[in-house]
């Protein structure tokens, strides 16, 4: 097993969509799926890699999309933030059930169920080997959890932001629809813009580009993929300056 000092990435930010927790279900949290995800992360934690996680809320809030129609955007966004905190608590419980210490920090104050986000405390937890799960996005409406991931990754001085998806990288076309689609091994930020490769939302993408935070897009359900990413192997797509 590689020693952490020999790894290219020693502190990572993993961005998980809420939909990733659904498995084959229509909404909510699939227990087998969430355990599969935390097992992958445990593998790299056991290698000594420090891991922060930002989680979305689409598995919960998109199930209420019809109810949100006609709702003021800010109100709907706050509801989405609450969904991410529910997912963060589920992740924490799943981690601890397999012996990984985890902490939830929320951008919104809700002290009975989660610590309020503070950068110093989050950094301390990472250095102690705990997984830190950030909920409630940035704490502000009109910003996505992609942007929250970019922001927290930069604040935590992470070596890279890993966007965990259902597809094992960025392709020339939708690989599910076009069997001829080819995976990019690496692509620059400028090339991603020119080719209109939708790596993540524009605000998050611009923030990573400006702060020189590289992004790796990989398939979270591909066995051993996260381990291969932190070991620097050809897995997923690296978006770089």
Binding residues for UMP: 57, 77, 138-145
CB 158 within 8 A of CB 125: no
Annotated binding site for ATP: 15-18, 58, 62, 165-166, 171, 174
Annotated binding site: 15-18, 57-58, 62, 77, 138-145, 165-166, 171, 174
Joined tokens for residue 164:
């965990």
Joined tokens for residue 134:
């950030």
- Looking at the chain, the number of H-run helices and the number of E-run strands are 9, 9
CB 239 within 8 A of CB 192: yes
Cα–Cα distance list, 44 to 47, 186, 187, 211 (Å):
5, 22, 25, 25
- Any bridge partners for residue 104, and if so which? 133
* SS3 label, residue 142: coil
């Amino acid at each position: 097993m590689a020693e952490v000092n020999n790894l290219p990435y020693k502190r990572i930010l993993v961005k998980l969509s809420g939909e990733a927790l659904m498995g084959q279900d229509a909404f909510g949290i699939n227990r087998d799926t969430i355990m599969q995800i935390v097992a992958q992360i445990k593998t790299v934690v056991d290698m000594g890699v420090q891991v922060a996680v930002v989680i979305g809320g689409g598995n919960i809030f998109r199930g209420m999309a019809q109810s949100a129609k006609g709702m003021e955007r800010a109100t709907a966004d706050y509801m989405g933030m609450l969904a991410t905190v529910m997912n963060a608590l589920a992740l924490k419980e799943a981690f601890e059930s397999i012996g990984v210490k985890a902490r939830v920090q929320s951008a919104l104050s809700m002290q009975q169920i989660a610590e309020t986000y503070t950068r110093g405390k989050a950094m301390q937890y990472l250095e102690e080997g705990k997984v830190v799960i950030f909920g409630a996005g940035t704490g502000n409406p009109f910003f996505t959890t992609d942007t929250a991931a970019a922001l927290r990754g930069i604040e935590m001085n992470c070596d890279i932001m890993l966007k965990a998806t259902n597809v094992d990288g960025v392709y020339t076309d939708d690989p599910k629809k076009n069997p001829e689609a080819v995976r990019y091994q690496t692509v620059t930020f400028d090339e991603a813009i020119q080719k209109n490769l939708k790596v993540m939302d524009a605000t998050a993408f611009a923030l990573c580009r400006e702060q020189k935070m590289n992004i790796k897009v990989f398939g979270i359900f591909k066995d051993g993929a996260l381990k291969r990413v932190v070991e620097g192997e050809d897995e997923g797509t690296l978006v770089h300056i």
